[in-house]
Structure 1
Amino acid sequence: MTAPATELAPRPPDGTGPDELTQIDATLGGDHLSRTDQVVLGIFIVVPFLALVTAVPIAWGGWLGWTDVVIFAVMYALTGHGITVGFHRLFTHKSYKPNRAVKIFWAVAGSMAIQGPVVRWVADHRKHHKFSDRDGDPHSPWRYGTGVGALTKGFLYAHMMWLFNPEQTPQRKYAPDLMKDPDIVKVSRQFPFWVLVSLLLPALAGGLLTMSWQGALTAFFWGSLVRVSLLHHVTWSINSICHTIGERPFVSRDKSANVWWLAIPSMGESWHNLHHADPTCARHGVLKGQIDTSARVIRVMEKLGWVYDVRWPVRERIDAKLVANQVPETVSRAA
């Protein structure tokens, strides 16, 4: 079916008044990031990153086994698709409709990526689409200008520094529909718990598979710390790299671009130009040869009957958005 225009802030269902929304918002962290929150955020960014930069010498030293590789791959795929299939294509853009079990599963899996609670993540991303690469965008690399120095500063801000902004996106404005969903509110409130599960589960699996403390330690290093940091930076690269360089085969009102070498680690999210041209589309890699594992996961769930009303790309709509098919402005005026 043809994907409708993007829904930045869907109207919530009836039954919850503004006062109750305010109370829910307060339990979800409100619209301000405290100094303590900034410090905790910094720890969760710096510590995994230190593991990432030391990964090569540690692997060279023999502290990497097949169990670590398997645990890393499973956790990366699970939590990464939790962001792409869950937080992004489901909760932000409503690219498909899930049953309740699928909805909760993806909310939990995305939370285990340790990129913030689901309601907060969605509110930020919806605001990004509303103001993409303009004033108001939470993380545009072009916010300081187009010069080399300004773009370097903007790139760093878009990649990660925007996360420390004390003024947070109003959740009541950009995600009222999720704040009306008791399941999603519950998972958002449980975010600290799912962070612990995400960090401790690899160590538990490594310890049980190898029956050793060393197996638990190396699994924690690779399956928790390295995995979290790599997924963080791949996700943030969509905000920074994919709004700075790359190909732009589709018409969009911003600088979103396709970056092919990020396609596999980002699970299809780096086909970013099409996404901004057609935000509710369930598949981002729509051209020949564009790998999009997130779309494959959605297709499998649809075949199993777990999701429905999937907004798959329509050829006529895609062709109409290709830059190569646009009528020159002069011809349009003459017509």
Structure 2
Amino acid sequence: MKLMILDGNSILNRAYYGVRPLTAPDGTPTNAVYGFMTILQKLLEEEAPDAVCVAFDLPQPTFRHEMYSGYKARRKPMPDDLAIQVPILKKLLDAMKLMRLEAGGYEADDILGAVSKKCGAAGDDCVIVTGDKDSFQLITETTHIRHVKTRLGQTETIEYDIPRFTEEYGFLPNLMIDLKALMGDPSDNIPGVKGIGEKTAMDLVRRFGSIDKIYGQLPELDIKDSIRKKLMEGEAQARLSYSLARIDTDAPVKMRPEDAGRADFTSPGLYDLLNSLGFNKFIAQWQLTPGEKAAAQAARDALDYIEGA
């Protein structure tokens, strides 16, 4: 079995910045939802998964905020015209009967990790669709990533498996946590080691491996004394950053991969919802027809038009 799980907030955010402004007939912003659905449709065709689910963040603090009060402290609030689209997307997913997953105190990344671990334990393949590189640490023999990128106003997905990742980064995917521990992550306000940037962190991980190995032999490492000094002074920050960057694959996600289903395009409410959003492209692609209520209204409108002619 192949399960595809999407990082709802991450992809919606990428789509928001990658798709020109769009509005429904009633003026509601829809560009992010439209972009999300376009990506979903493309991946349903390319991956042909047996099951699909979507993970979402919750607005409440997580265990990482309890661990470090500065976690994501510098992140700007979600734009209003994006925030209004989150419930619209969830309503669409429900109409397609796609499983939505949320976990109090955890992030969508942790849900991705927990689900991919369940798939691996069952011998199933897992495809993670996300716009964040944090999830690269989850790449295994049974789990690969479709990384959503926005470039010049266009949204694309790039596939990462173990060979592709190691070719690009020069180390195994699980060491992505150690890279973040050293260099930090400004977008999440993960501190890292002061004075250690991406280039130096990449070199250290490629040459020596995990932070445990680096700190276990720090006095003997063939590195500049200035870098050694920064590492010594920043060990506590590196350990903290590792804990913040590590995805919790044991997050309490109560689902079985086999419980997730495929997208259902026969839902009577799906046509009405897509029509209200002005998403005629998907109505045509999925060959949807109005439900009885919508068809009756269309017939009345047609009759009114004829009588008024």
Give the TM-score, by structure 2 length: 0.23
Greater strand content: 2
| Greater per-residue helix proportion | 1
Larger Rg: 2
TM-score of the superposition, structure 1-length normalised?
0.22
Bigger relative contact order (CA 8 A; separation at least 6): 1
